[in-house]
Amino acid sequence: MSLRESLLKALAVIPVIALGGAVGKEGVVAVFAGAIGSVVADRFGLPPRERRRYLVVGCAAGVGAIFQCPLGGALFATTVLYREPDIDGDSLMPSLLASVVSYSWFMAFGGYGSRLLSNTTHLSFTSPVELPAYLLLGLACAAAAFVFRKFLDFFSWAPREIGCPRWLSQAAAGLLVGGIALAVPHVMDSRYVVLQNALDGAFLRERTVPWATWALLFGAIALARIAASAAQVGTGTAGGLFGPVLFIGGAVGAATGAFLGASFPGTFPEGLREALIPVAMAGMLAASLRVPLAAAVMVMEMTGSYGLIVPLMLTCMTSYLAGRRWGAYDEQATALENSPAHVGEWLVKRLEEMRVGDLVEPPGESFVQAHLTLPQIIASIPAGAQAEFAVVDEGAVVGRITADVLERAVQIVGQEKSIIAGDVMEFGAATLVPDDDLYHAMEEFRKSHTGFLPVVDRGSRRLLGKLTRESVHRALRGHVRERREHMAREHARVIDIVQQSEVDVLLAGLPAEPRRKIERIRVPAEVAGKSLRESDFRRRFGEVIAVVRPTGEVLAPPDPAQVLEPDDDLMIVARARE
């Protein structure tokens, strides 16, 4: 995520809200905090999986602070990624820690004890008779989420349909919001004063006004805020959805309370009418952002209404089930298993459990001493093997020689016998230790583009052996076979499709063989007795960089007029098979 772009949006939202815009500051701050996490991970060179985790943790810290809900912030950041009630378990613990720290520092400057709504701590669930009211409230929140989504779709579609430039559509949205505010000034409320007055009864002291009128008024406020917020968010105006969703939910709760007062006078207590406002805020969050659990916890923390846990659970689940189809975020993955970040998750976890030391192999011909000459190195390459070496000096790995390095070295005519491995090697060869997990090893394979990695002792750096990509492949496929045996009894119809697709996707992330490689081959029968020039060897088979005689003599670079004998070996530069 771009830190610069996120910062600019965070700064741009200040004048938008200050001038009466119907957007929220909280969502922009959460995105900015997530961008910080992403950039920090990128600066430390962490792999994509860790970078995603840092992004989630940063978002949790931002939400936990700006909404003053440390637990809710962590739950929100780890569940908002999915439409289904899934959670990113790997990010939960660091998200909790980051949210607590961020919340603590934020409150240290802003003052502890402040709430999104005041005078809510006394609210509580007192009777099962109230359950139908909260069930109705959940359905009302789902209906409001549906209307909100339709308005968002319209305001994002209309400018594209008429070919309106982005800046002009945003300006038109601002004018529309101004027009709405002339009729319903409450849409400019970014501090939830309207909802606080509704909760305290400041709007309702004039009892000569029928409850039905109050219901219509709060319904009109909710609809006006839906239109105003959708116009600005849909056209890309700087600002977020969090604040508008909370405001709309609170207005729906006030309207529902007034409706119940008009329909069933004297049936429900005054405390229920008040409780409907914070509960509806959670219900609207649950439906529009598809975060039922996080919504309930966030509103409890934001308002201090811990006594409303039962109605919060009922309303959030009702609104989520009825309205999740029309959530505001199209980018959410349908479920954890469908997220690109979690494809083959069970295999990733297995890789994190397995250690390099379990698969280490003897060094073999993959390692050469730093004092070996170029002809000695070429002669040591077994037939059919790839020319790729780690260079060892006094038992420690000091560099590596790749196909490209070897090809360039043999072009130095007349000096090949005086060139040693230490002269041409690339420094800084990547190494592993036995305690490293295989997931870390895969990332090192990806960065180094090599077929094997040296394994060394952590303390002395003494060479212990090597880890090859083939050994990782074998380990993964062995694990798949074990899982297939265990799953056959329960899911025999699907295991072949599921497991093979997952292992294929995961193995695709393991680097393929380097595209250019040097191989040692026996002279093909059809060119034996001919020179390299006569057989057109380079076009037909690849570029020859050395000829190895049966006596061990190495001709590097070879003479194009030299006749090739049937027992000669050729070192050729070839492309790996696709």
pLDDT one-digit tens code per residue, 264-277: 887 888 889 999 99
The segment(s) of the chain belonging to CATH 3.10.580.10 are 351-474
Average pLDDT over residues 148-168: 93
For residues 507 and 446, give the distance between their C-alpha atoms in angstroms, rounded to a whole number. Answer: 12
Domain boundaries 516-575, corresponding CATH code: 3.30.70.1450
For residues 2 and 252, give the distance between their C-alpha atoms in angstroms, rounded to a whole number. Answer: 36
Which H helix or E strand runs over 264?
none
188: its two tokens: 């400019």
The segment(s) of the chain belonging to CATH 3.30.70.1450 are 516-575
Sign, Cα dihedral of 492, 494, 498, 501: positive
The segment(s) of the chain belonging to CATH 1.10.3080.10 are 128-326
Predicted confidence band at 280 (pLDDT cuts at 50, 70, 90)? very high
CATH superfamily label, 351-474: CBS-domain (3.10.580.10)
Predicted confidence band at 517 (pLDDT cuts at 50, 70, 90)? low
Q: For 355, which DSSP code?
A: B
- Using an 8 Å Cβ cutoff, are 297 and 69 in contact? yes
Average pLDDT over residues 422-450: 80
Burial of 267 from C-beta contacts in 10 A (0-12 / 13-18 / 19+): exposed
For residues 507 and 470, give the distance between their C-alpha atoms in angstroms, rounded to a whole number. Answer: 11
Using only C-alpha atoms, what is the Rg of the chain?
33
For residues 558 and 544, give the distance between their C-alpha atoms in angstroms, rounded to a whole number. Answer: 7
- Using an 8 Å Cβ cutoff, are 555 and 549 in contact? yes
Which H helix or E strand runs over 84?
none
Predicted confidence band at 344 (pLDDT cuts at 50, 70, 90)? low
For residues 346 and 207, give the distance between their C-alpha atoms in angstroms, rounded to a whole number. Answer: 62
pLDDT of residue 165: 92
pLDDT of residue 578: 40
Which range has the top average pLDDT, 116-125, 179-188, 414-423?
Answer: 179-188
Predicted confidence band at 172 (pLDDT cuts at 50, 70, 90)? very high
Q: How many CB atoms lie within 10 A of CB 37?
A: 26
Average pLDDT over residues 153-182: 93
Which range is least confidently modeled, 201-210, 464-473, 491-500?
Answer: 491-500
Q: With 70 as the cut, is the pLDDT of residue 176 above it?
A: yes
Backbone angles phi, psi at 487, to 5 degrees: -85, -20
Per-residue model confidence as pLDDT tens digits over 406-416: 666 666 645 55
Higher pLDDT, 392 or 282: 282
pLDDT of residue 412: 60
Which range has the top average pLDDT, 51-55, 116-120, 321-325?
Answer: 321-325
Q: How many CB atoms lie within 10 A of CB 415?
A: 12
For residues 430 and 447, give the distance between their C-alpha atoms in angstroms, rounded to a whole number. Answer: 9
Q: With 80 as the cut, is the pLDDT of residue 564 above it?
A: yes
337-375 as b/e: b if 16+ CB within 10 A: bebeebbbbebbebbeebbbeebbeebeebbbebebbbb
Which H helix or E strand runs over 321?
helix 309-323
Higher pLDDT, 53 or 48: 53
Which H helix or E strand runs over 516?
strand 516-522
Strand-pairing partners, residue 543, are 573
354: its two tokens: 């397995």
Backbone angles phi, psi at 368, to 5 degrees: -130, 150
Sign, Cα dihedral of 542, 543, 548, 549: positive
Q: Which one-letter amino acid corresponds to residue 365?
A: E
Q: By C-alpha distance, which of 251, 248, 260 is closest to 218? A: 251
CATH for 128-326 (1.10.3080.10, 1.10.3470.10, 2.60.40.10, 3.40.50.300): 1.10.3080.10
Average pLDDT, the chain: 82
For residues 150 and 46, give the distance between their C-alpha atoms in angstroms, rounded to a whole number. Answer: 40
